[in-house]
Structure 1
Amino acid sequence: MRLVFLVFFAFGLTKINAKFEFKNAKCTSLDKSFLEFDGCYLKSVNRTYKYITVKTKIFKLPLKSLSVNIELFKRLNGYKPFLFNFTVDACRFLANHRNSFNQYFYDLIGPYSNVNHSCPINHDIIVDKLPIAYLNHMVTTVLPMPEGTYCMHSVWSANGKERVDMNIFFSIE
């Protein structure tokens, strides 16, 4: 009986129950004549359903060239660079989806976004009601991240010029 209890107790200690939680979202247009945000907010409908929405209004279409620089920072006496800093040519990626690392980041927003085709992009870009439960699954099960407070900083460049600076603050507990 003791052995059964010890085995059950040992397996119970190895179970991971991480929880993803949004803290804040800041979206800044670096060129207001090119793009403005109709919305960039977190919403808590109830204790179990929370989401993020980002809606842009692009004034100069089509987008023939789009690149994204993504950096992850972890809060350790201030925000320090953590794990990755990369730039992806979004038009090239959307055309062939061959890089599995970039695919993971696309899968974070892809099912809730209207960017599901290659360039040129002839419409506003929207990420609508991206639920916290989906992100929790992606960052704790699909590719587990260590507990902590993070900032995902991204700079979006269109047609060769930086257009958007975005910071998404979250924690994994």
Structure 2
Amino acid sequence: MYKRENGFKPWLLDTKFDACRFMRRQYDPFAKLVYSFFQPFTNINHTCPFEGPQILQGFYLKPELLLLPFPTGQYMLAIRWYFDKKLQFDTNVAVVFKMTNFECASYNKSWFVFHNYRLKALSRDKVILNMNGTILQPAYRIQAHFKIYKRENGFKPWLLDSKIDACRFMRRKYDHFVKIVYSLFEPFSNINHTCPYVGPQIVEGFYLKPELLLLPFPTGQYMLAIRWYFDKKLQFDTNVSFLFVEDFGKSR
């Protein structure tokens, strides 16, 4: 275990164990605690031998399972895996990917209104967004401008900037950057069909999943600003700020 203090420095916990013996009897208290976090999300749940796909899916940290007194801070759990006493790969978990703020504004309340929007922290590293608004008249021609900002003495424009025909995009996901953004919130929204759009537009229980972020983001604070146009006229903005801390994992 490492703690971030001008870089990651070794912390209190350090253990080596025979993983095959551990899977027969969970004899190491620290490893047992770590295993309790990810056991429900993986097929790494039987005795040796291990072969074929090793899967971890939908994993998130549950603070109620952390039975050790951790001071506030950023940590990294580094695990080195050996087969026949030879190093095979590393898994170093230090990913934080969570929303920190959400702002929105309607500029034409005769066409679009926001009713409510709220971020709610479920744990230190899991924040959900609930938002709903209403399109009061059918929108047949929708455009959107996606732009990423990075915080460096205020938010400054970053690399990613894309304008799309949203109606065309909902027929065929032709823009790779917007496709990644859409994959993040699609399961949590009714914004999932082709034009026209009218009536309630809902995002519920949305949280960020680092495994879906297929772009290399340096550690930092970011904002995704989206400007929404109907008939080429600006209707509303949605700006979500998020924190990303890099995954320091590497394989050999």
* TM-score normalised per structure 2: 0.58
Contact kept, 8 Å, 2:164 with 2:175, in 1: the verdict is no
For residues 6-155 of structure 1, the aligned pairs below 5 Å read 12=90, 15=92, 17-47=94-124, 49-60=126-137, 62-132=138-208, 134=209, 136-139=210-213, 142-155=214-227
Between Structure 1 and Structure 2, the one with more helix by share is 1
The letter of the residue matching 2:167 is: C
> Relative contact order, CA 8 A, sep 6+: which one is greater?
1
In 1, distance between residues paired with 2:126 and 2:93?
A: 21
The letter of the residue matching 2:172 is: N
Structure 1's unaligned 5+ residue stretches are none
Equivalent in the alignment of 1:166:
238
Aligned residues: 161
Label 1:47 to 1:15 Cα distance change in 2 as closer, same or farther (>3 A). closer
The letter of the residue matching 2:135 is: I
In 1, distance between residues paired with 2:171 and 2:100?
A: 33
In 1, distance between residues paired with 2:222 and 2:126?
A: 21
Q: How far off its partner does 1:166 sit?
A: 1.6
In 2, distance between residues paired with 1:102 and 1:41?
A: 23
Q: How far off its partner does 1:48 sit?
A: 5.9
The letter of the residue matching 2:212 is: M
Q: Tell me the alpha carbon deviations over residues 77-124 of structure 1, each in whole angstroms, 9 at most, x when there is no partner.
A: 121111111111110011122333332121121111112111112332
Secondary structure in structure 1 of the residue aligned to 2:212: helix
Structure 2's unaligned 5+ residue stretches are 1-81, 246-252
The letter of the residue matching 1:99 is: D
The letter of the residue matching 1:51 is: I
Label 1:44 to 1:137 Cα distance change in 2 as closer, same or farther (>3 A). same
The CA RMSD over aligned residues, in Å, is 2.2
Q: How far off its partner does 1:46 sit?
A: 4.2
Aligned-pair identity in percent equals 30
